[in-house]
Amino acid sequence: MAATVPDAPGELGPRGGTAGEVFRAFLKLGLTSFGGPIAHLGYFRDELVTRRKWIDEAGYADLVALCQFLPGPASSQVGFALGLLRGGPIGAFAAWAAFTLPSALLLVLFAYSATAFDGRLGVGLLHGLKIVAVAVVAQAVWGMARSLARDRERASIALVAVLLVVTLAGSVGQVAAIVVGALGGLWLCRHAPAATVGHLAFPVSKRAGLIALALFFLLLVSLPLLAAASSSQGVALLDAFYRAGSLVFGGGHVVLPLLEAEVVRPGWVGPDAFLAGYGAAQAVPGPLFTFAAYLGAVMGPEPDGLVGAVICLVAVFLPGFLLLIGALPFWDAFRTRPKAQAAMRGANAAVVGILGAALYDPVWTSAVLGPYDFALALAGFVLLTIWKAPPWIVVLLMGLGGMSLSLTTATV
């Protein structure tokens, strides 16, 4: 990695900060950033662009564009890059750890307290959390469709993606949907106006970028082979969560169907525990990818608990960071190409279809079991989309609603 890049309008360059400074800034963000990846990017801008002035507006916008283009958790990738910018490689790790660990620890604690939810109120609370997942995923599908599939061509790509996902079970269907979406974008979206791009310069050498890309693909290919050749459940976890993290286009909610295919269908995590954890993840600050820590903690086969949480958490974040480092030296030239922009329009439309399929199965089919559940889920959707209520408030209300429904059905 290069040590210096001159600071100029629209460019990124190191500003001589320390890893400790980066950790403190991102710990504050990790404790207070509610609302999902788009909200996180707003928090980053307020704290690091406007107040601390680590980077200018044009450079920040270019960095956000890159992270939204790549698979992975966009807000965490932006934070990782800003930590790298400010404090070097140690700063990048400090930014990730400080932003991620608060929510990861809260979700692990939730996983350990699962036995406290065996009574009627506890069952009702967990059911309420599953209903939260319906409202949150419906909101994500609605918002993403309006921005990523708003014309006939991209809406058609999204529909084909739904058909592929429901026809080809598991991650095979999801990978096929993204590939077909990209190819469809090259065909159907090639005449769309080119996106306006600025200049992006970042202190990562081409050699470092190529090493990161090589490592990304090496792990993507070798982990499934290692998992098949060995009986190690730890390697199987690494493979499953690394693969899921490698395919997440379009935001943190898209990890839901990918992880469901990897952990619920093999029987590692029950569907009820899966959706309850996903609902709980809406109530904590920080990145939604920390849902992986919860899954690792509640995993049926060992390693589970804290060890499983660490394995799953690292594995799901790692591919996005490797791709980010690999793309930084080449992004400026690549993103100006019309074919690349067309392919990404199609891939993003396919993501809408993937998430739409997940809204039905497993989210809807596992949570909405009657008319009262439907009414509660609809109330949560209206609170999120019309009233713009903070997600943690919706989680609280849906949890109370689930407990109320449980008590009502018990007395009927």
Which one has a higher pLDDT value, 329 or 95? Answer: 95
Q: What is the pLDDT of residue 387?
A: 93
* pLDDT above 80: residue 357: yes
Across 55-64, 174-183, 215-224, 282-291, least confident range: 55-64
Mark 372-389 as b/e (b = at least 16 C-beta within 10 Å): bbeebbebbbebbeeeee
Using 50, 70 and 90 to split pLDDT, how confident is the model at 289? very high
> Is residue 94 scored above 70 in pLDDT?
yes
| Token digits of residue 108 | 């692990």
pLDDT tens, residue by residue, 234-260:
999 999 999 999 988 656 677 788 888
What pLDDT does 12 receive? 42
Question: Per-residue confidence at 336, pLDDT binned at 50, 70, 90?
Answer: confident
| Preceding amide of 89 cis, omega within 30 | no
**Sign of the CA dihedral with 64 first, then 67, 69, and 74 last:** negative
Work out the mean pLDDT of the chain and round it to a whole number.
84
Measured CA to CA in angstroms, residue 381 lies from 319, 349, 377, 394 at distances of 32, 22, 6, 9
Average pLDDT over residues 333-341: 78
Report the pLDDT averaged over residues 181-204: 76
Q: Which of 154, 161, 155 is nearest to 176 (CA)?
A: 161
Letter for the amino acid at 292?
Answer: A
Cβ proximity of 315 and 292 under 8 Å: yes
Sorting pLDDT into bands at 50, 70 and 90, what band is 102? Answer: very high
Write the DSSP string, 124-155: HHHHHHHHHHHHHHHHHHHHHHHHHS-SHHHH
Q: Residue 198 — very low, low, confident or very high, per pLDDT cuts 50/70/90?
A: low
Mean pLDDT confidence for 9-30: 75
